[in-house]
Structures are given as C-alpha cells and as structure tokens.
Structure 1
C-alpha cells in the first residue's frame, strides 16, 4: 500500500517580505535553487515574473541516472506575500504538493516548505523512498538552504 510522506523545512531569509516574495514567486529563479546534477530546465512558462493561481509550468529534470523526465506543475492557492502551492500534474511522483509559506519577522522572512508526496508503485515506491528518494529530497533542500544563504547574505 502506498504511503504519503511529509517533508518540512524552515529557512530564515535575510530580506524583507517583498524581496523574498519577488524572488520565490518568480519561476525563472527555480534553476538558481537547483543543483547542477538535476539539469533543471523550464520548457514552458507564461511570460510573467510572479506565480498566479492556475499557472502551469513545464520543466525537464534528471533526478535519476541523468535520465531526463518531464515535470508539469499547476500553481494554486496564491495569496501574494503569504503563500502559494505547486502541485505536480505530471512527473515522477504519484502525489506532489509543495506549499510555500512566507512570514515576515523581525529578523527577515521565515519561509516554510511543506512537501506532501507519495511514490508510485505501492510498496516498491515506499521501498525506493526509504532507500534513496527521501535522502535525495533532503539533500536537495539542504542545497537550496545554502543557495538561499548565498543569495540573501
């Protein structure tokens, strides 16, 4: 039986809410937060600098053995300067819902990432998650945290 997993991360960004929102709500900046081994590339994205509810974005990534795969996202629940959610409509996961939350604090912006995901292929997918997927996702978000610290010193 397939299980859903939840990955949660919090990152304090040295910026005000407007600068943080402008950066993270712009799909073009996703590549800046992705390690080179993913070969992240946007295939199609509306010509806008900010996400909106209903926006569709198509990417190409190579998460395993450099094998390219298409990933399509639908943006939902956009509340400017507060949150948005990207939901995978096509890609490697059976379920992928990434909620991005932004909270202004005295020390900058607290960004919270909540990723709900489910692997395909039932128990085989769960086994793959235990073996390497969860580790790879944690490494990806560790990389993002370090890149954010460099981009917002």
Structure 2
C-alpha cells in the first residue's frame, strides 16, 4: 500500500529566508527530533541541487541505527525540491517540499508518498508505529520552525 503524508505550515519570513533555510541540508538535523538520532554522514556540504546524494544515520525505533541515502531529484529555486530514498528504511519514499509566498510570509507544504517494506507486517506496523512516528516528526518540525521564525499571525 502507498501511504501519503501531507503537511502545511505558514511561517512569517521572506521567501528568500525560507528557501535559504530549507534548501540547506545541514538544517534537516535542526528540525528533526533528537530522538531520531539523525546524523548526516555526507552530502550536506552545499545547498540542494538536482543529483545531490545525502547519506544519514537515523534511529527511528527501538534504538536501531539505520543508514538512509536520499537523492535530491528536482530543484526549482525558491519554489520546491524533491528528495527520494535510494537506500533506507522504506520500500519507497518520495518527498516534495513546496514554498509559496503568501501575505505576511511563506506557506511551506510537504507531500510525502511512502511504502513500507515487509508486506503485511509493514501494513500492520503502519497505524501503530510508522504513522504515529511520522506525525511526531512533522509536529516537532512545526514547533521548531515556530521557535526559530515565530508564529504566523
């Protein structure tokens, strides 16, 4: 089964400031919960570009450290970028990050399509482990962006 996660958040910054933050791979660690054990191993030495490979360690559940390799497949300056898993915990991971200028700031939108490994076991794990964990990660990010940039009014 292919799952979809959709998140939107408005932040009170300029489009340039939002893009500068979100297109810097080093900032992914800033907006990821510490409980994920997220560490970038390589590929974060420059702003996002199509073809960029980024290699991480993550500890998503039960203290199990996993490698995750993503490729930035598409980038449109100050509009969007797409990352796709090349190796990691998902059978399929396609994450679109959109930015849109709005009055008083920027709307950030994420659309993630993902598929779990392990067939029926993955499907059974989705509602009790995977979806709650992804919701927690995106809620942490929402709060962290408010902490960094302020509340949108």
TM-score bracket, normalised by the shorter chain, equals: over 0.9
**Preserved contact between residue 61 and residue 70 of structure 1 (Cα < 8 Å):** yes
Q: Determine helix, strand or coil for the equivalent of 1:51.
A: coil
Name stretches of at least 5 consecutive residues in structure 2 with no aligned partner: none
Q: CA deviation at 1:46?
A: 5.0
Matched residue pairs, number?
A: 150
User: Using the alignment, how far apart are the partners of 1:120 and 1:16 within structure 2?
Assistant: 39
Which of the residues 18, 26, 29 maps onto 2:27?
A: 29
**Preserved contact between residue 83 and residue 99 of structure 1 (Cα < 8 Å):** yes
Aligned residue for 1:136? 133
Aligned residue for 2:68? 71
Q: CA deviation at 1:27?
A: 0.2
TM-score by length of structure 2 reads: 0.96
Which of the residues 118, 122, 125 maps onto 2:122?
A: 125
TM-score by length of structure 1 reads: 0.96
Deviating beyond 3 angstroms after TM superposition, the runs of 4 or more aligned structure 1 residues are none
Q: CA RMSD in A?
A: 0.8
User: Using the alignment, how far apart are the partners of 1:67 and 1:123 within structure 2?
Assistant: 21
Aligned residue for 1:18? 16
